[in-house]
């Protein structure tokens, strides 16, 4: 009976190892592809700044708008 419980506990621990192993591999692949994409954009489109997605992040625009506000 004792050996059966130890065997079941060992198998359950191996399931966790499998799950974390799969998660590690998936996160590694996603990270690797992300880095490859960043490198591709840097080599082939060096002037791209991403303003078409989020707009401009100039701090000067915010400061000009703040001048006209009443505090």
50-70 tens-digit pLDDT: 777 777 666 555 555 556 556
How many Å apart are CA 64 and CA 58, to the nearest integer?
Answer: 11
CA distances from 69 to 20, 44, 50 (A): 53, 43, 29
Say which residues have a Cβ less than 8 Å from residue 41's Cβ, sequence separation at least 6: 48
pLDDT at 20: 92
Can you give the pTM of this predicted structure?
0.58
Token representation of residue 69: 């506000």
Q: For the chain, first and last CA: distance in Å? A: 76
């Amino acid at each position: 009976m004792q050996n059966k419980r130890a065997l079941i506990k060992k198998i359950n621990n191996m399931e966790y190892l499998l799950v974390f192993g799969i998660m590690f591999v998936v996160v590694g692949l996603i990270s690797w592809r992300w880095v490859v994409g960043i490198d591709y954009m840097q080599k082939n489109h060096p002037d791209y700044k991403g303003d078409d997605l989020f707009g401009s992040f100039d701090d000067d625009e915010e400061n000009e708008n703040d001048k006209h506000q009443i505090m």
